[in-house]
Chain A
């Protein structure tokens, strides 16, 4: 019998009853883990959603106490790490793309690779959005 899963009024035992804050901290922890998982799948924008929700839940789970519970603190740290890592990956991707666009040899190499993978070159892809390489737009 899992006594710790029951409420105090059900078993008369208050020592192991999880409070609303504990339950919220546990949910925050799961969502923070989800943010790490989404970060591995797609580092662009998507991890921000569960990470922000996890951080907010972790903050709220504190209630009136001075410090967060261990789970809430872990959710907060994992969520924050997911945001920082996602931002870093996004920044590296943008810088690399700009570098490629300004280096004709690397651009040609990248065009060939992209054509093999998607059947369209990077220049053609950018032109669809009205952007041109070497014209100062990018």
Chain B
């Protein structure tokens, strides 16, 4: 019979793995945040007179940014996974996916990026084709479409949460196998991971209050908890 750890035990594992390793995890998270934010700023720069051209450019940049940030996230997840198993990591490990098993990582992240793009497409189409951006109706509609898109992206994140770890642990698998195994391993565990993320809401609010400065420590904690979740899940998987 499988015995899974509850949220508080997973968080305790996460805290324990971070002790003595914050000197690596905090700069890594900072580097990751700077990279992702500077890449994300590029999305808003494509506003041409032709809406179709704007949509095509925005979609392409969204996809590329998703792939690159996904590759960086694999490196970040690797660091926290190493901490979880009591091993040391370096800040340079953030770029692991660019050096190790790159083909499978890019293919997997491309598929995940396309799924994220499909979720955000209604909001992107609306922002490219409807330009009266100062009206309240535009803002409300765009807000609703964006909110729905982000909810779908979060659900996809829950479904494919273990994919980065599987890419690192099983480099012999193809992208199709990684996605299939990832989805299968999350069956019946999405609610548990959702509860784990939900338990970080007070700390995330605190991070917002600090204008994002405390997020370097809070994100480390969240990533460590996600790595603890994977460790717990893989320990209870039959060979």
User: Is chain B found bound to chain A in the same assembly?
Assistant: yes
Q: Chain A residues in contact with chain B, CB under 8 A?
A: 19-21, 24, 45, 48-49, 51-53, 55-57, 59-64, 83
A56, B19: Cβ atoms closer than 8 Å: no
Q: Are A24 and B19 in contact (CB under 8 A)?
A: yes
A57 to B206, CA, bound (A): 12
**Which residues of A sit under 8 angstroms from B213, Cβ to Cβ?**
49, 52-53
Given that A56-B217, A60-B217 are known contacts, is A48 also in contact with B209, CB under 8 Å in the complex? yes
Q: Choose one: A48, A53, A63; the contact of B12 (CB below 8 Å).
A: A63
Residue B148 lies at the interface, judged by CB distance under 8 Å to chain A:
no
Interface mask (B209-234 → A, CB under 8 Å = 1, otherwise 0): 11101100110110000000000000
Give bound CA distance, A37 to B214, whole Å.
18
Give the number of residue pairs across the A-B interface with Cβ within 8 Å.
58
Name which of A59, A62, A83 has the most chain B CB atoms within 10 A of its CB.
A59
Q: Of B15, B20, B206, B220, which contacts A62 at CB under 8 A?
A: B15
**In the complex, what distance in Å separates the CA atom of A83 from the CA atom of B209?**
9
Whole-angstrom CA separation of A45 from B212 in the bound complex: 12
Chain A contact surface mostly: helix
CB closest residue in chain B, given A45 = B211
Do residues B209 and A52 form an inter-chain contact, with CB atoms below 8 A?
yes
In the assembled complex, the Cα of A64 lies from the Cα of B20 at a distance in Å of 14
A–B Cβ pairs within 8 angstroms, 6 of them = A51-B210, A56-B221, A59-B15, A60-B18, A63-B12, A63-B15
Could you say which of B19, B207, B210 contacts A63, with CB atoms under 8 Å apart?
Answer: B19
Q: Given A24, A52, A59, A64, which contacts B22 in the complex, CB threshold below 8 Å?
A: A24
Nearest CB in chain B to that of A54: its residue: B214
Q: Are A57 and B209 in contact (CB under 8 A)?
A: no
Q: How far is the CA of A16 from the CA of B20 in the complex (A)?
A: 17
